[in-house]
Structure 1
């Protein structure tokens, strides 16, 4: 009888041992709230404020160009409509050509602004990511975990496995500022440099409108 009890106790201890060892080693999965990191780190707050100012300037410039085009195009459209299908004279055609060039220049300017803002946004994120990866890796090793996941990629998790605050503390120490500038140009084969671009919020473009025609 005693042998059976001892055997049962040994079996129970054998089953419990792995669970105890795992509990002592800490959680295998950690999570970090990437959105919080990107918006709450000290350098991020400053950079986001600067970037939002650039976006506002781009929107104001787009509206100014839109107003200029509407002001310049309205009398030309009226003149074209008055022709009732007749060809425009040389003077009117010259004005139409000048307006079309003005419209093209506006679109080129706004397209360049959009690309610049995209590149700035990508460069801001790049600078955070360069620090975020090593920081998460160090915390993972310190806690004996196996993987760090983005918190919004999990269905549910305990607050005890959330390392966002630890990440923010280390990121604030290692990233005192973020350069709000376009991505550094990368050398291209056979050329000195090549322009780089990245994802970000696009700048607004002028409203599409019908161009005056000389026909």
Structure 2
């Protein structure tokens, strides 16, 4: 008995699927959107970028104020280590450990704020991105388009198929501003007790 080769199986699959391909697709009407321009120029985008930059500047200033006093101490420790020919005594080692602990404390203090800033930026992108998709779909349908693509992914497009101005106007009306403070993260749920274990007895 002859066995089916991979080529034969593929040919049978194409034959079976032939009726599905027989149905002609409608002519596509393409709309082009300059998403980079929209994310740069939309009213909510500009306002959010300004506020996020202010948050970034504030965090950088706080970091400089916290790290500044340590720079003098770090320079003094380097000089002391060099004077000891790279072999610090116990006292100098204690100073180095104390300095490293201070560095770690500052990093721990700044880390939550850095994470919050990242979450704020992601939250802004999420709000704008969700509404932008809805607006593009609405404007494209109003123009009779069956497909909308980003201008950055095209080599050429005729001006007549671009709907960027209409999308930008509609987005400004639908989303004049966004929040630049991400919601607080929910605390992780307590792990469920393992199967077969009994709850701890309570006093009566």
In the superposition, the TM-score normalised over structure 1's length comes to 0.67
Once the two structures are superposed, what CA deviation does each residue of 1:165-190 show, in whole Å capped at 9, x if it has no partner? 11111111111211111355357565
Aligned to 1:37: 38
Tell me, yes or no, if the aligned pair for 2:43 and 2:172 is still in contact at 8 Å. Answer: yes
Aligned to 1:75: 76
Structure 1 spans left out of the alignment, 5+ residues: 1-20, 192-215
Once the two structures are superposed, what CA deviation does each residue of 1:18-73 show, in whole Å capped at 9, x if it has no partner? xxx97xxxx71111111221121112211111111112223333333443332111
Tell me, yes or no, if the aligned pair for 2:32 and 2:161 is still in contact at 8 Å. Answer: yes
Tell me, yes or no, if the aligned pair for 2:140 and 2:163 is still in contact at 8 Å. Answer: no
- Secondary structure at the aligned position of 2:85 is classed as coil
Cα distance in 1, alignment partners of residues 85 and 146 from structure 2: 76
C-alpha distance 140-112 of structure 1, shift in aligned 2 (>3 A): same
Aligned to 2:103: 103
How far off its partner does 1:147 sit?
0.9
Q: How does 1:1-215 map to 2 (within 5 A)?
A: 28-84=29-85, 86-90=87-91, 92-182=92-182, 185=185, 190=190
Tell me, yes or no, if the aligned pair for 1:30 and 1:140 is still in contact at 8 Å. Answer: yes
C-alpha distance 138-188 of structure 1, shift in aligned 2 (>3 A): farther
Cα distance in 1, alignment partners of residues 86 and 74 from structure 2: 18
Structure 2 spans left out of the alignment, 5+ residues: 1-25, 192-204
Cα distance in 2, alignment partners of residues 85 and 154 from structure 1: 60
In the superposition, the TM-score normalised over structure 2's length comes to 0.70
Query: Following TM superposition, where does structure 1 have runs of at least 4 consecutive aligned residues deviating by more than 4 angstroms?
Result: 186-191
Tell me, yes or no, if the aligned pair for 2:42 and 2:168 is still in contact at 8 Å. Answer: yes
Once the two structures are superposed, what CA deviation does each residue of 1:187-211 show, in whole Å capped at 9, x if it has no partner? 75657xxxxxxxxxxxxxxxxxxxx
The CA RMSD over aligned residues, in Å, is 2.5
How far off its partner does 1:157 sit?
0.6
